[in-house]
Structure 1
Amino acid sequence: MIGTNEDREIVDWRKITEDGQTVYEIEYDEPVSAPTGRSKSLFGASSGGTVPAGEQYFHLPDGKRIPASEAVFDADGTTLRVRHEPSMVARLRRYLPW
């Protein structure tokens, strides 16, 4: 789950729509910062191996998974806002017949 660890727990969360995009507002029990790196524990590489970039996902509170490369974060105090912004390649794949 995004942003949880042994010391930090999710207090509340909600899913809203802003400008046609789904935004998750996740509130924690202590201040949080926006994820900056790709932690092995977030991506299941606890065996010491690496996980290919195309298989790295963030798990959101409602069970939805978004690709790590397409997640945008904004942290403010105890609140983390998460948006899914598909990459240009992902957008093109939807429209090209290959």
Structure 2
Amino acid sequence: MLAKKNRLPIQYLKSKKSEVRRSQSLTLKKYTNDKDVPRLGVMVSKKVVKSAVKRNELKRLVFNQVRLLLPQLKPFDYLVVISKNNSKEQLIEEINKLFK
């Protein structure tokens, strides 16, 4: 899991402008940040995955994968929106592509 300083409260980001990158099943939104560390938020809607357990599992998967990439990230706020339910391997591959 990510450290608290690297977690992003996603409810405050709706009105901010962002830079957007998309892949087949993920959208990465990059917001400016006045802090000196990168922060990450993950959003999975009920339309994508009905079960809360599986939504949380997907969020944990994204958090753990990005945690490995944290030293390479610049200090921005990143929001990952999962828009399609794919296999874990495909999600990991897309996360690595979007963050590089």
* Short-chain TM bin: 0.3 to 0.5
> Normalising by structure 2, what TM-score?
0.32
> Normalising by structure 1, what TM-score?
0.32
The structure with the greater share of residues assigned to strand is 1
Q: Which has the higher contact order (CA 8 A, sep 6+)?
A: 2
The structure with the greater share of residues assigned to helix is 2
The structure number with the bigger radius of gyration is 1
